[in-house]
Amino acid sequence: MHISKRDGIATWKAWLIRLIAVLIALVVAGFVIMMVGSMRGVSLNPIKVYMSMADGAFGTSSSWMITKMRSWITIRDCMILTCIAIGLAPAFKMRFWNIGAEGQMLVGAIGAAFCMINLAGKVPTPVLFLCMVVFAILAGAFWGFIPGFFKARWNTNETLFTLMMNYIAIQLTSFCVALWEYPPGSNSVGTINGAGKPNTYIGWIGNLFKKGFDDDYMIVVLIVLFLAALMYIYLRYTKQGYEIAVVGESENTARYSGIRVPYVYMRTMAISGAICGFAGFLAVSAVSRTISIDTAGGRGFTAIIVAWLAKMNPFVMIGISALLTFMSKGAIQIASDFGLNEYVSQIITGIILFFILGCEFFLNYQVHFGKQKQ
Amino acid sequence: METKQDNKIPSPIDQQVPSEVPAIELKGITKRFGSVVANNAIDLTLNKGEILSLLGENGSGKTTLMNMLSGIYYPDEGEIFVNGSKVEIRSPKDAFDLRIGMIHQHFKLVDVFTAAENIVLGLPGERGKLDKNAVAKAVREIADRYGFEIDPNQKVYDMSVSQKQTVEIVKVLYRGADILILDEPTAVLTPQETDKLFAVMKNMKKDGKAIIIITHKLHEVLAVSDRVAVLRKGQYIGDVPTSQASQQSLTDMMVGHAVSLNIDRPMADSLKERLRVEHLTVKNKEGVKKLSDVSFTAYGGEILGIAGIAGSGQKELLESIAGIQHVEEGGNITYIDPQGKGIHLEGMDPLDIIRKGILLSFVPEDRFGMGLVGGMNITQNVMLRSYRKGAGPMLDQQTPRKLADKIVNDLEVVTPDINRTPLRRLSGGNVQKVLVGREIEQSPTVLMTAYAVRGLDINTSYTIYNLLTQQKMQGVAVIYVGEDLDVLLELCDRILVLCGGQVSGIVDGRSITKEQVGLMMTKVGGGE
């Protein structure tokens, strides 16, 4: 057997390979499900399991109300995941391995929560939202800028640096949770400005248009779609986007063409962090209305896979996010439907990711069988 | 002289006496990289107790050939015999099992380990045990036998380049190598260190080791080796005993006899001073001088050739002028603009140079490493130097697209799709046309090119020569760094010869001979 690098591959072929990978993954996962079932003495039909997953994500076999509700939540979560991936896109395009989205999102969430707690009722609502967004963006940008600065100045390893910044952000979040704990002794911040509290619903994104807090789903979708379009244009049609691409391909070529590489590192990382910080704002204002160390919930890492599989294309990211969000929602559902614990669902997610990531190998390399001509 | 033993009628047993079997025999070795033939049907023999110099210009395939002996590449065709038996070398481990050891140009040592630790690194040894004292003792024995100076307990990060090289050689010997390959070992050494290395090599030879030294420094070849084998453009040209060789004869073999080139070399009506370099000194990161007190002037209306052995400071010289290389205090680089005003370039970075409106173009040596972006299409590459033009944050893609069309048409660039195909998928000649085309389209007054025709076929090379001559006749000061002396002598009006970072001389391209330039390349001032 002999492996050689591909010179390139037709787009339809690439998608065909990916589709085959997903199908194989579903078949393999089906066998695993049956195996798990037989081990526990229940017979599990994979088709039923997959239908149960669809029910978890979209409420397909439930009442219309639940269908609507679950679909919206799935779409919203998919959009927030996409938002983080959009934030990672410019950094990855620059071949700057920002794995600190988790932390950048958390500090953004802290910024937003800070405003919600301390400014609600004191300033007009639009001003409050502006403050929340600005604080979240600035906090995220700062968190991204630090590793960018160190890389530019001392050529530190950005992978380790951004990774460690996550842990600092987590500690910072725990500190804030302790600071803002409510009610005392609960070890959590509780729902900020929730029902029955002063400043009810102030700072909840659905409240922005005074229509009640249920409309926040649509707002999140629109904002993230707008961001996706913006990032698409930024990377493809602006001078800065071009600079990022050149730096990513060859630092020497960038220097040769007059691009100040350290500056581009810092600027791009600030942008990357800012968008992840904005995702933190969405997580607080549109989803949890609270802050905890689980506000990011590992999505900063999942977004890395999303950004990569989408090859930094923001619109493709939406599709990948949808798949992954569907998987995780479905996972929770099969856990409850079949009395399996959640690990089984994570196994399925793992199998699918394994095949999707694994097929990238076949996109980049060609495998020839048989002995090579000498 | 024949010894008594040699006069005996050879019996079958005698034929297998090791001393009569060559240590290495290559038969018809061919290696291709894509469409490039790096080695073409090469036959080479290395005898025991012999130092063989492998001589050739850059890109002639020396290192590729040796990498096939050390298991880094596997030949496409041909056979390798070690000590008379046919072998397959598929990995560095295979090479090591055959007692072949290669010392690469770039050392592969662990900085925080001691010499001894690096030497035993990767060896099986006794289970779970590392007897440092025993290793140190063995290392000292090897050092004493051949005359190395080495402290087994010194950490690598404390070592000079020459000491690191010693560790690499001892490492190979410790593993029992009988056949040593040294890839340009002297490139990083001072003359004194070189002498020491040669002394050690001669001791190893006396001990029966077979040694191949890759080099392109002629005086070293003459000083150390017994026999010289010459490669040129992937072909095996031949071999001569060193005693019968001279610098001249080796240069002839290495460079080859010129195909009748006939490059048109008109004289410009007038010369205008465009660029003045005075007392330029450049040090690399390690503080080693790469250029030392270089001064020259480039005139519009002439092609100034820069000749020299690879690594004599050509790269640093051009990069200093382009603002990419940090230059030492005291040197001046003055650009004279069309109005006759002088602008100092030292201390500027490329962005400063662009912003000052300085019309300086640069075709760097490493196309994809510096001049172009391999993953981008022609249009995106064409805008690399000019994308800042136009107000606002948006990229103007229309103007570069038209320019790309023009370059593709004018220079007959063959590409499946201007706006889609990434440059990396074009052939070397087409890639170079895009690069040169872009730099000329900047309408420069100074045009610097480094190895502009490396790897290109004859036709494309001529396209490039003609473009450069055209530029010269339009009053551009062209600086042409080249490696092919025949071309330099036919193309350039004046030739600056670099030797070890110093200006060995600036000579008239029309009256100098190749031999004279060759001598100046190896010795400052040509040895007079």
CB-CB neighbors (< 8 A) of B324 in chain A: 252, 255-256
B409-429 burial, b at 16+ Cβ within 10 Å, e below that, comes to eebebebeebeeebbbbbbbb
Mean pLDDT of A127-136: 95
Range picked from A270-279, B301-310, B318-327 for highest mean pLDDT: A270-279
Residue A262 has pLDDT above 90, yes or no: yes
Q: Considering the domain boundaries, does residue B55 fall inside one?
A: yes
The β-bridge partners of B44 are B26
Vertex A305 angle, CA A300 and A306, to 5°: 85
Is residue A313 included in any domain, yes or no? yes
pLDDT at A2: 60
Domain, as residue range, for A280:
80-318
Higher pLDDT, B308 or B297: B297
Among A15-24, A133-142, A162-171, A224-233, the least confident range: A15-24
Q: Is the pLDDT of residue B407 over 50?
A: yes
Instruction: Choose among B427, B344, B358, B323: nearest CA to B33.
Output: B427
Residue B157 clears pLDDT 80, i.e. is over it: yes
Q: How many domains does chain A have?
A: 1
| 3-state DSSP assignment of residue B35 | coil
Q: How far apart are CA A332 and CA A327, in angstroms?
A: 9
For residue A311, the distance in angstroms to the closest alpha carbon of chain B comes to 14
User: Which of B350, B371, B372 lies nearest to residue A258, judging by beta carbons?
Assistant: B350
The better pLDDT of the pair B404, A349 is held by B404
Domain containing B243 equals 19-255
Q: State the average pLDDT over residues A281-310.
A: 92
Q: B285 to chain A, minimum CA–CA distance in Å? A: 15
Task: Return the C-alpha torsion angle A349, A352, A357, A361, nearest 10.
Answer: 160
pLDDT for the residue A183: 85
pLDDT of residue B400: 92
The mean pLDDT value for B479-485 works out to 86
C-alpha distance from B190 to closest chain A C-alpha (Å): 29
The pLDDT of residue B258 is above 50: no
Helix axes A101-119, A261-282, angle to 10 degrees: 50
Residue at A359: amino acid letter: C
Answer yes or no: is pLDDT of A7 > 90. Answer: no
The verdict on a CB contact (< 8 Å) between A8 and B425 is: yes
Q: Considering just the CA atoms, what is the radius of gyration of chain A in Å?
A: 22
Chain segment B344-401, per-residue pLDDT in tens: 998 899 999 999 989 999 999 888 889 999 999 999 999 998 899 888 899 998 999 9
Count of structural domains, chain B: 1
CA distance A281 to A133: 7
The average pLDDT across A259-280 equals 97
Out of B354, B373, B397, closest to residue A253 by CB: B373
**What pLDDT score does A74 carry?**
93
Contact: B353, A240; criterion CB under 8 Å: no
Rounded CA-CA distance B229/B240 in Å is: 7
Q: Select, from the ranges A272-286, B67-81, B196-210, the one with the highest average predicted confidence (pLDDT).
A: A272-286
> Three-state DSSP class for B401?
helix
Q: Among the listed ranges A266-275, B67-76, B271-280, which one has the minimum average pLDDT value?
A: B67-76
Chain B residue with CA closest to A4: the answer is B34
Residue A266 lies in a domain: yes
* A to B CB pairs, distance under 8 Å: 71
Tell me: pLDDT of B250 over 70. yes
Q: Is residue B523 part of a domain?
A: no
| pLDDT at residue A372, rounded to an integer | 45
Average pLDDT, chain B: 85
Residue B138 lies in a domain: yes
Q: At what angle do helices A46-58 and A64-93 cross, to 10 degrees?
A: 90
Least confident of A30-44, A154-168, A268-282, B197-211: A30-44
Task: Give pLDDT, residue B508.
Answer: 94
Q: Does residue A69 lie within any of the structural domains?
A: no
Cβ B373–A255 below 8 Å, yes or no?
no
Supply angle C-alpha B199, B201, B207, rounded to 5: 110
| Residue A45 falls inside a structural domain | no
In angstroms, the CA B163 to CA B156 distance is 8
Residue A277 lies in a domain: yes
CATH code, domain with B62: 3.40.50.300
At B2 the three-state DSSP class reads coil
pLDDT for the residue numbered B247? 77
| Mutant choice from A239, A243, A264, A311 vs B, greatest count of B C-beta within 10 A | A239
| Residue numbers of B between 380 and 409 with CB closer than 8 Å to A | 380, 383-385, 387-388, 393-395, 397
pLDDT at site A198: 79
